Amino acid sequence: MDRRDFAKLSALAMAWGSLPTFAQTVASSGKPLGYAAIGLGRICDIFMRACADSSAGARLTGLVTGHPETKGAQYAGKYGVPKSGIYTYDTFDRIRDNKDVDFVYIGLPNNMHCEYTIRAAEAGKHVLCEKPMAISSAECRKMIDACRQAKVKLMIAYRIQYDPMWNRVFQAVKAGDIGQVQSFQGGFYGEMAAGEWRLTKKYGGGGSLMDLGIYPLNTIRHIVGEEPTDFTAVVSTLDKSGRFAEVDQSIEWTMKFPSGIIAACGSSYGARGPNFVNVNGETGNFIVAPAFNYGSVHYSGYVKGQTVDEENKGATTPSQFTLEAKHFVGCIRNNKEPLSDGEEGLKDMVAIEAIYKAAGTPIA
């Protein structure tokens, strides 16, 4: 090989190396993008039903389940997924060869998010992962690195960031309609039945903060646009039945942001209570309650010198899940980074670790 031939070969190699991956060359013809649902529990069922709305721009083309002959076959029949599109956790990596799957939706237990995000990225598939992103900030960073290296999109499913009512709230704060924000209060309280995987340290990673408390945490971070630096926290388990043998029942915490804004939040797996966010400003305030239900949002308060009271009872379409799917499809088509990307999920996990540390019960 002479110098001229070597130069040509080198140029060809450089051009080949700069070619986009399969995940970057998804057709922009307007037809729906195909996705595979990983884990066929309650949250995946909701997401699949939401994506049946054509406005999402996504269609179910793959299923990953530990029960291919029962659950897999059931959903395949319902949504028209071919038998070749049904995978087990052992055969998941074969999804690399399925050109009808452009991205995956991960609705698995928390401790499996990291593994399947990395495996999906290595298979050249974009990733929409449920929250919490993982069970540690170290896992979050591995997920971000894997997706960046594979040149695929990574989005965390913070559905309320795509809700029209919530976006009016976000814009009102940003526009200064209640003056300089001073403080927040937020909480999400509910019951968790014994035997649920979320009550195990292995699968859940922590208590209600990982599942419910993350909602007011992320909402407040999103509104403020800053990362909290100072934390106090307490955990408590009043239930002595053994239901909370591995994770805490309830947690209350405070945060202070660099600007001086303070927040007080709480969550529980053993208390009937509201889910809400209250924002106090110099000239006004508002409360969103319910705040985190699937599409039911009630926004009221004193804004721009006037009383406001608006409610979305969840009867409108598309749903929050449809809207988040639509956003992700748009990011893939237009090669844009999702609003709630991996860095957003990482920041929440860093704050969660700090909260548990402040409570004297570190999770990592």
Q: Which residues are catalytic?
A: 131, 215
CA gap 364, 25 in Å, rounded: 38
- Amino acid in position 9: L
CB-CB contact of 275 with 290 (8 Å): yes
User: What single DSSP character describes residue 132?
Assistant: S
CB-CB contact of 267 with 188 (8 Å): yes
> 165: part of which helix (H) or strand (E)?
helix 164-174
User: What is the distance in angstroms between the CA of the first residue and the CA of the last residue of the chain?
Assistant: 56
CA gap 211, 205 in Å, rounded: 10
Instruction: Name the residue among 275, 259, 190, 174 with its Cα closest to residue 223.
Output: 174
Residues contacting 271, CB < 8 A, separation 6+:
189, 190, 191, 250
CA distances from 276 to 86, 166, 299, 326, 358 (A): 39, 12, 10, 26, 23
> 170: part of which helix (H) or strand (E)?
helix 164-174
